Structure 1
Amino acid sequence: MKYTRVTALAALAVAAAFSLTACDGDDPAADPSAQGPAASSPSSAASPSSPDGSAGTEGGSGSGGAEQGSGEGSGSGAGAAAGTGGKVAFCRTKDLAIDAVDAAPGKDSGRIDITMVNRGSTACSATGFAGVDIKDADNTSNPVPRGHAQPRVTVLKPGDAAVFDLAYDIDNSGGSLAHPTNLLVTPPNETHTVTLPWPEGAGDVKGAYTDVEVYPTHTV
């Protein structure tokens, strides 16, 4: 009987000890998993948004560069506008008095000056190359090619004159095959042509009519 009591007491003691051990295991301080959130806090502070933020700042600089680009673009537009100036209509053939004269600088170089006077009531532009054909005695006509020169802005007020010239080499051999009789002149940016006599005293053309060159208009 006494032995049974001792055994029961021993069993109670073991149960009590087990209970205490279980309670100790529930202590959060002793459980490493309880420290998980606290340990993960520093890593969540180092967020990947920081590199994105830097990229955003660089994007801001890029936008500033684009603004600079547009500024340069508007500058070019302003330059183009300044170069254009006010709009002036092209001179019409019917408003021009046109004449051709021999202006050879020497016995070997031929030059014909063709003058256009604005007889209209408003200013007009004669800028560019006139179209010129040379008509021969055999009733054929040949276009004159352009010389290597840049046109100048040529605006004519009423009464103003512009001039352009034909240049060629003079044939002094007496055996020229060219026998020009007329000049067919179309002012720059026009379609109506006037017929002028080949200037008196102009030297014979050396070679073919394709060797003659026409140069742009300029003011007198």
Structure 2
Amino acid sequence: MKLSRNAGLAVLGLATALSLSACNNGEDSAQAPAAKTPSSASPSSSGGGSSPDSGSGSGGAQTGSAKPGSGTGSSSSSGAVNGGAESGGKTTFCKTEDLAVDATNAAPDQSSGRINITMVNRGSATCSATGFAGVDIKDADHTSNPIERGQAQPRVTTLKPGDAAVFDLAYTIDGSGKSLAHPTNILVTPPNETHTVSLTWPAGAGAIKGAYTDVQVYPTHTTN
């Protein structure tokens, strides 16, 4: 009986020791999280969010300072100035309906062909005939051939009512009698106009040597 009692006391003592040990471990594990609480403030103390905002702000300011297309207006305005100067700024171009147009043979010799085309201002206002007239020569075979411009700079040609402007067609005369060109009419469109007048090829004008591409038209000028 003494042995049984002693064994029982020993078992009870062991159980008590294990219970105390378990309690101590539980208290330690409960205190562990409390020791880590200061680290939970670290995310809120981060100031990194303000840096990207300030960076994007500076980028927006740089973009706003650019002025694309700021130089395009000057080219348009210079074109308008040139156009105004060309027409004299005040004088309008002569209209075909206000011009009396005529063609005459003006060859200075037997080898140099020249047709003078005169335009008289029959209108009631001063007008400009400055530039090159458009010219086509119509052949006996009913074809029409455009005439190229000669190497000359136009001169200002302003016509008051009753004034005349003249321009000429120049070519080499073919004296062989074998010319393949047989002109019948000269189709004239005054400078800066779209309406054409048909003139009869002047009687007595020398034959054209070569082709119609060898004839050249020169700019207008006044007869004064």
Contact 2:148/2:213 (8 A) holds in 1: no
User: Unaligned stretches of 5+ in structure 1?
Assistant: 1-6
2: distance between equivalents of 1:159 and 1:36?
103
1:116 aligns with 2:119: yes
Larger Rg: 2
User: 1:183: which partner in 2?
Assistant: 186
Determine the structure 1 residue equivalent to 2:73.
74
Deviation digits for residues 143-171 of structure 1, max 9, x if unmatched? Answer: 34223668847553323433322121211
CA contact (8 A) 2:137 2:144 kept: yes
Confirm or deny: 8 A CA contact 2:133 2:189 kept in the other structure: no
**1:42–1:161: structure 2 CA closer, same or farther, 3 Å change rule?**
farther
Equivalents in 2 of 1:190, 1:45: separation in Å? 72
Q: Distance in 2 between matches of 1:92 and 1:15?
A: 120
Residues 192 and 174 of structure 1: CA distance in aligned 2, closer, same or farther (over 3 Å): closer
**1:130 equivalent in structure 2:** 134
Say whether residues 1:168 and 2:171 are aligned partners: yes
Task: Give the 3 Å change call, closer, same or farther, for CA 26–72 of structure 1 in structure 2.
Answer: closer
Over residues 156-195 of structure 1, what are the superposed CA-to-partner deviations in whole Å (9 max), with x where a residue is unaligned? 3323433322121211334434454553434342434242
Contact 2:119–2:165 at 8 Å: present in 1 too? yes
1:59 is displaced (CA, Å) by: 1.5
1:35 to 39, 59, 78: 39
| Residue identity opposite 1:51 in structure 2 | G
**How many residue pairs get matched?**
206
Cα pair 2:126 2:158 within 8 Å, conserved: yes
Contact 1:176 1:207 in 2 (8 A): yes
Q: When the two structures are superposed, what TM-score results if normalisation uses the length of structure 2?
A: 0.64
Question: 1:192-203 counterparts in 2 under 5 A?
Answer: 192-198=196-202, 200=204, 202-203=205-206
Q: Which residue number corresponds to residue 147 of structure 1?
A: 149
Check whether the contact 1:122–1:158 (CA below 8 A) recurs between aligned residues. Answer: yes
- What percent of counterpart residues are identical? 46
- Cα distance in 1, alignment partners of residues 152 and 76 from structure 2: 23
CA distance in 2, matches of 1:194, 1:119: 18
Aligned with 1:65: secondary structure? coil
**1:59: which partner in 2?**
63
Deviations 1:71-104 (A, max 9, x none): 3211112111112224755433332122333444
> In the aligned structure 1, how far is the partner of 2:178 from the partner of 2:22?
144
Tell me how far 1:198 sits from its aligned partner: 0.7
Which residue does the alignment assign to 2:210?
207
After TM superposition, the structure 1 stretch with the greater mean CA deviation from structure 2, 140-149 or 159-168, is 140-149
Counterpart amino acid of 2:101?
Answer: I
Are the counterparts in 2 of residues 142 and 210 from structure 1 also a CA contact under 8 Å? no
TM-score by length of 1: 0.65
Rate the CA distance shift 1:194–1:174 in 2: closer, same or farther, 3 A. closer
Q: Name the structure 2 match of 1:3.
A: none
Match for 2:161 among 144, 158, 161? 158
40-49 or 15-24, which deviates more: 15-24
